[in-house]
Amino acid sequence: MRGLCNGLTALLLLVGTAQAEPVAIVALGDSLTAGYGLEDQAEGLVPELERWLTAKGHEVAIQNAGVSGDTTAGGLARVAWAIGPDADALMVILGGNDMMRGIDPAEAKKNLDGILKEAAARQLPVLLVAMKAPGNFGADYKVAFDGMYAELASQYGAVLADDFFAGLVAAGADPSDPASMAAYMQADGIHPSPEGVKLIVAGLGPKVEELLAKVAPAP
């Protein structure tokens, strides 16, 4: 009887350990994901998002797979090895550099499609985070660029966050007005300050919770 009790205790401990394993999310992105320009990397998007989710009661471990200067092509080139064998989900935060360089939205869409195809082959749920193009490349460019994210999310059944900067917009900032964004951005006007990161995470966090809800429970 004692042996049986000890065996059951050990089994329960193993089950508890398995349940305690955090959900592993890979955040594939560029400098916005990497935390470019921040003096304290602990104030970057990934650690701030981890803290936000932990405060909401989620056990997560987010891998920072952000590479400064990366385009969608760069993300596609490294997605196969950026997603480790223990990954449970994927966040894709790419397109900002494509847009800044005026890369053809059709090419960017093709690259994102390849990334989502890789995730689908691994049966990983995806959160696709959209960027918004400015109007300086013309109305047709903006329509094509802005629209590709929703189209791909629908095609692959991904969770869609329709604007990376939605948290700043909710705080009253206007991405088309640099002056209204200045309080939340670094001096380059491109990358968020620590305060800006917090607001971005507040806007993005609920979408990551939607992603977590799609993660299959451990067997």
The residues assigned a catalytic role are 31, 188, 191
How many Å apart are CA 95 and CA 130, to the nearest integer? 8
| Mode of pairing for the β-strands spanning 159-161 and 126-129 | parallel
Is residue 65 a contact partner of residue 82, using CB atoms and an 8 Å limit? yes
17 - beta bridge partners? none
How many Å apart are CA 185 and CA 36, to the nearest integer? 12
Both tokens of 157, joined, read: 């059944």
Is residue 94 a contact partner of residue 149, using CB atoms and an 8 Å limit? no
